[in-house]
């Protein structure tokens, strides 16, 4: 019996800690639902075309001017040709513009937009001060893991990335 005492104490402490952690998690998730995140959006061509090569990045992660500039340069899209026919390009551009960081009424969108100086038109979400601030605790080596491989691979750590959900408590950094 004496031999089991440390194990029992560990078990009791572990239960207490996990209960506390669970309670904390629950609270944060509720907060997220109340407007911390980005609203769920969908557009067939956006999901099919943008999502063919990378996470279908939520429009609320860049301002309208960035999306317009990006969609004007698809023939040279970060070193790759991502050209679209005119009708598809316009349809996706309209969707991105209508739900852009500076157009959406959501707290996260406002924070993204506010982190970008008005004279700048970043083409990469990872170039915004908001993104940098949110990821500043990660060591540079994390991005080089084969299971992650690219800063564009949001879904590697954020299971809800394709739905625009980046809840901090759902983050799981793969080994």
Positions touching another protein (CB under 8 A) are 51-55, 79-83, 148-150, 152-153, 156
Q: Which residues 6+ apart lie within 8 Å of 108 measured at CB?
A: 36, 37, 38, 60, 166
For the CB of residue 140, give the shortest distance to another protein in the complex, in Å: 17
* Residues in contact with 143: Cβ distance below 8 Å, sequence separation at least 6, in sequence order: 149, 150, 151
Q: Which two structure tokens, joined as six digits, stand for 156?
A: 């590697």
Which residue lies nearer to another protein by CB, 32 or 166? 166
Instruction: Assess contact for 37 and 59: CB atoms under 8 A.
Output: no
Provide the 3-class DSSP secondary structure of residue 80.
strand
Q: How far is the CB of 25 from another protein (least distance, A)?
A: 28
Pick the closer one to another protein by CB: 15 or 53.
53
CB of 136 vs another protein, minimal distance in Å: 22
In degrees rounded to 5, what are phi and psi of residue 35? 125, 5
Of 6 and 146, the one with the shorter C-beta distance to another protein is: 146
Nearer to another protein, 33 or 135 (CB): 135
Output the smallest distance, CB 141 to another protein, in A: 16
Strand partners, 80: 77
């Amino acid at each position: 019996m004496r031999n089991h005492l440390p194990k029992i104490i560990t078990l009791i402490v572990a239960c207490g800690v996990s209960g506390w952690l669970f309670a904390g998690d629950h609270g944060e998730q509720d907060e997220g639902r109340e407007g911390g995140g980005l609203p769920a959006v969908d557009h067939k061509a956006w999901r099919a075309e943008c999502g063919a090569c990378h996470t279908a990045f939520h429009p609320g992660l860049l301002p309208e001017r960035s999306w317009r500039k990006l969609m004007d340069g698809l023939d040279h899209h970060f070193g790759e040709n991502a050209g679209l026919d005119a009708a598809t390009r316009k349809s996706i551009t309209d969707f991105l513009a209508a739900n852009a960081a500076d157009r959406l009424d959501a707290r996260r969108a406002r924070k993204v937009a506010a982190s970008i100086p008005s004279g700048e038109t970043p083409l990469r979400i990872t170039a915004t001060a908001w993104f940098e601030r949110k990821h500043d605790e990660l060591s540079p080596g994390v991005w080089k893991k084969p299971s992650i491989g690219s800063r564009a691979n949001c879904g590697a750590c954020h299971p809800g990335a394709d739905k625009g959900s980046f809840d901090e408590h759902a983050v799981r950094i793969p080994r």
